[in-house]
Structures are given as C-alpha cells and as structure tokens.
Amino acid sequence: MFTSTTHSICVKVTPRYQPEQSDPKRSHYIFSYEVEIENNSDVTVQLLRRHWIIMDGNGLSQEVKGDGVVGEKPHLRPGQTFSYTSYCPLNTPTGSMRGSYLMLGPSGEEFSVEIPFFILAEPSHYH
C-alpha cells in the first residue's frame, strides 16, 4: 500500500496485477488499483477532478484528466472514507502512476490533494 496525506486528506493506493485480463505475449498488461480517500479534516470536502500521470516501463508517460472518479464526485464528511477500484493497461510489465485530486472545500475554495507515487509490476518480472 502506498500512502500520502495532504490537507488532512489521506490517500491510500493498493495496486494489483490482473493476470486473467493480461496477455504478456501481446505486451498487454492490466493492473487494478484500489484507492481509499479518507477525510481526516474537520470540514466536508468534495472531490471534483482527477489528474493522473502514468508511466510505462520504457519511460513513456501519458496524462489522464477528468471529472470525479468512477463517475462520481463524492462528498466526504469529517472522518468519512470513499473507496473505489480502477484499472490501467500498460504495454510493459512494469510502470508507475502518480497524480492529484482537485478538491472543493466548504467555503468554495479549491485545493489539490496528492495521490502517492506507486509501482505497477507483473510479479514474474522479478523472478
């Protein structure tokens, strides 16, 4: 698990290789990542946008930006947690992801919350 905290918002990411959806012979590797966002502040916040930087094992990067996560723009009350799972296809057996969420505070202020850097790796790549 990879963790970061920004403005009392804790983001935890657990990546997993998906062998049943991958086809290494065709350089097609699928990774899932479970994200848990916990509001440890004393105010309600809303997740507005996501920004990902995905890098494959050859150092090629792509950016993904969009509204919300998994079709939602969750509100998180103090102490509340929101979890979701998403997927990332790569052409290499290893890679990495990092990024940020744009959040909205109770007074209409927007602020950025870091998504921790994490590694994507097909397990047999290390053997």
pTM above 0.85, yes or no: yes
Is residue 16 packed enough to be buried (19+ CB in 10 Å), middle (13-18) or exposed (0-12)? middle
Pick the CATH number of 2-126 from 1.10.3720.10, 2.60.40.1470, 3.40.640.10, 3.40.50.920: 2.60.40.1470
Decide if 64 contacts 26 (C-beta within 8 A): no
Q: How confident is the model at residue 126 (pLDDT cuts 50, 70, 90)?
A: low
* pLDDT given at position 127: 47
* pLDDT given at position 77: 98
